[in-house]
Amino acid sequence: MIPKGIIKKIKKKIKEANNIALFCHIDPDFDCLGSMYALYYALSNIGKDVDMFTHEQFSSSQSQLLDESLVKVGGFNPKKYDLLISVDTPTEARLGQYGQDFVKHENTIKLDHHHCQDGNFNIAKISYVDPIRSSCSEIIYELLNCLKIKVIPETATMLFAGLSSDTGGFQTTNTTLNSFKTASELIQDGADTLKANDALYRFVTIKSLKITKIFYDNIEIIDKEIAFCAISQKELNKVGATKKDCSNLSNKLICCQGANISCFMVEKELNTYDCSFRSMKGYDVSNIASFFGGGGHKEASGCCFHASSEDEAKKRVLNAIKHYLKYKEKENDNKQ
């Protein structure tokens, strides 16, 4: 439950604001985009002037669900807005090019569900962060209800997509009774689940199918419990794909039998390696990601780092995972 004091503060800020700017994290996923679009539709519907800011072009599945013409990339003028709201974004760094302006602005609200470990996460004047929530979309839904702002069908569809995406289709361990309850209420509010599911799970481009083949070929199981897969720039280029065409693959990697931790490493630019970690219940991969300056959740986290070669990157990341598993083993021994 969002505390009444916070609701009251947010209500006042929204009431007083005419021009509102919304922000999401770099490398945007469906939860942050869904949360941002949901707020956009809801606040526009009550007569506010709202602009959304993002960082890059959408992936093909994102542009299938979201009206890309509604977002701006760059060109943000903080003086134009009397309220800034960030969603699903723990730190200033994750706000990318908007981070500095956001932190300096006098009226800011942060709504998030990331557990903060490192970095400057005290970025807004008013903050509501609940790491127990499956998704930021779940928080936005409760907030709109508490603020008595009508959840119109467009808003409901966006929140359903965010909720479904961050719970891996209501399957990951962060899925709670409240996630299902929220989903059912969103459907009552008119969420177009078919449209959301098509974009999230059914729609696939030829190039992402081709990169999926390479993904399966490259999977290795290390020490019986680490599922690892690397895809190089060369391999991406061969099928005309980018990192964005790989976005769902790390969820498949953790499904390998016996795997407790998975790491999907994509060379997104030359010598720049993007790692996406997943874990089974009881393991915390946000530890490993934060070692490389990244972060996220216990079961899903990510980081990006430079290395002189794929071999070096692989070595470093596997060392970190093995180190964590050893520590985990010791911790278990101590408990017994």
Cβ-based nearer residue to Mn ion, 166 or 235: 166
CA torsion angle 105 51 136 90 (round to 10): -30
Contacting Mn ion within 279-298 (CB under 5 A): none
Q: Please count the residues of this chain forming the interface with Mn ion, following the rule CB under 5 A.
A: 4
Contacting Mn ion within 14-43 (CB under 5 A): 31
Residues 6+ apart with CB under 8 A from 97: 55, 74, 76
* CA distances, 195 to each of 191, 211, 266, 325 (Å): 9, 24, 29, 40
Distance between alpha carbon 28 and the CA centroid of its chain, in Å? 6
Residue of minimal CB distance from Mn ion? 31
Cβ-based nearer residue to Mn ion, 267 or 284: 284
245 touches Mn ion (CB under 5 A): no
List the x/- string, 53-92, binding to Mn ion by CB under 5 A: -----------------------------------x----
Cβ-based nearer residue to Mn ion, 212 or 301: 301
Cβ-based nearer residue to Mn ion, 31 or 235: 31
Cβ-based nearer residue to Mn ion, 101 or 166: 166
Contacting Mn ion within 127-166 (CB under 5 A): 136, 166
Strand arrangement of the beta sheet that strand 126-129 belongs to: 71-73, 49-54, 19-23, 83-87, 108-112, 126-129
Tell the smallest beta-carbon distance from residue 303 to Mn ion (Å).
16
Q: Which residues pair with 23 in a beta bridge?
A: 53, 86
Phi, psi angles (nearest 5°) of residue 108: -135, 145
Distance between alpha carbon 134 and the CA centroid of its chain, in Å? 11
Tell the smallest beta-carbon distance from residue 129 to Mn ion (Å).
12
Residues binding Mn ion (CB under 5 A): 31, 88, 136, 166
